[in-house]
């Protein structure tokens, strides 16, 4: 049994995918199930934190005691996070945000007997990067989902987005973190330290991550 070692701390999180509308019935998204983020929210609440979870659409029940804010698109997630970030101590950005949204969204269902539609994409805002720019005392944690060169890309994201820690995981092949009950992660820190964990259930990853945050935060604030 872990102590209530997060008591008094406020944790703001994201989980799941974002969905970007093509028309009222179709969208662009990704394979995030929400399991990793929900496991962290559940563990943080269990350990005494006040947890707010900004979540894209997933098929998971909201963990007991966690405040849920449902969003669809990356732009909605950006507003939900920036509106709230100032009053939180720890921010953990697990959501798989769609990097692109549809520029030419149709207000009506695109009919299949019309000519083949061309979907134009536009870049979505980088939510984590703007949280990194605006953060003050908050301990800011990002995730990096990569299909190769995990360490290089994760460290680059940590520096560019002004993070206090990044959790790298692979999302290719049979060991992909997407949808799985297990995850194999590496923690990277701005001082160059890193910690590669064995593959383990996502609820165990969640506790390891919260342990690491508490330890690092002690020397951070």
Annotated binding-site ranges = 99, 109, 125-128, 143, 157, 161
When asked if residue 179 is in the footprint of ligand PMT (CB under 6 A), the reply is: yes
Length of the chain: 221
Window 54-83: residues binding ligand PMT (CB under 6 A): 74
When asked if residue 157 is in the footprint of ligand PMT (CB under 6 A), the reply is: yes
**Minimum distance of ligand PMT from residue 79's CB (angstroms):** 13
Which is closer to ligand PMT, CB of 4 or CB of 208?
Answer: 208
Among 33, 55, 73, 138, binds ligand PMT (CB under 6 A): 33
Catalytic-residue membership of 193: no
| Binding site listing for CTP | 99, 109, 125-128, 143, 157, 161
Quick one: angle between helices 202-220 and 35-46, nearest 10?
A: 60
**Computed from CA positions of residues 211, 216, 218, 220, in that sequence, does the dihedral angle turn out positive or negative?**
negative
Contact between 98 and 19 under an 8 Å Cβ cutoff? The reply is yes
| Catalytic (active-site) positions | 30
Residues that bind ligand PMT (CB under 6 A): 32-36, 74, 93-97, 99, 124, 126-128, 142-145, 157, 169, 171, 177-179
């Amino acid at each position: 049994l872990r102590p209530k070692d997060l008591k008094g701390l406020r944790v703001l999180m994201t989980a799941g995918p974002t969905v970007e509308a093509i028309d009222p019935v179709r969208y662009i998204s990704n394979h995030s199930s929400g399991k990793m983020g929900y496991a962290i929210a559940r563990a943080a609440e269990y350990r005494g934190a006040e947890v707010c979870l900004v979540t894209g659409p997933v098929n998971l029940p909201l963990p007991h005691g966690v405040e849920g804010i449902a969003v669809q698109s990356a732009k909605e997630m950006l507003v939900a996070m920036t509106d709230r970030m100032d009053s939180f101590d720890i921010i953990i950005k697990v959501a798989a945000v769609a990097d692109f949204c549809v520029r030419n969204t149709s207000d009506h269902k695109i009919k299949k007997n019309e000519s083949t539609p061309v979907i134009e994409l536009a870049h979505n805002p980088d939510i984590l990067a703007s949280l990194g720019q605006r953060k003050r005392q908050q301990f800011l944690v990002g995730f990096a989902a990569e299909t190769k060169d995990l360490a290089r890309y994760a460290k680059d994201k940590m520096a560019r987005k002004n993070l206090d820690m990044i959790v790298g995981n692979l999302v290719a092949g049979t060991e992909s973190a997407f949808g799985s009950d297990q995850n194999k992660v590496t923690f990277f820190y701005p001082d160059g330290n890193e910690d590669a964990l064995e593959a383990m259930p996502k609820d165990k990853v969640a506790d390891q991550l919260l342990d690491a945050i508490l330890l690092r935060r002690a020397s951070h604030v």
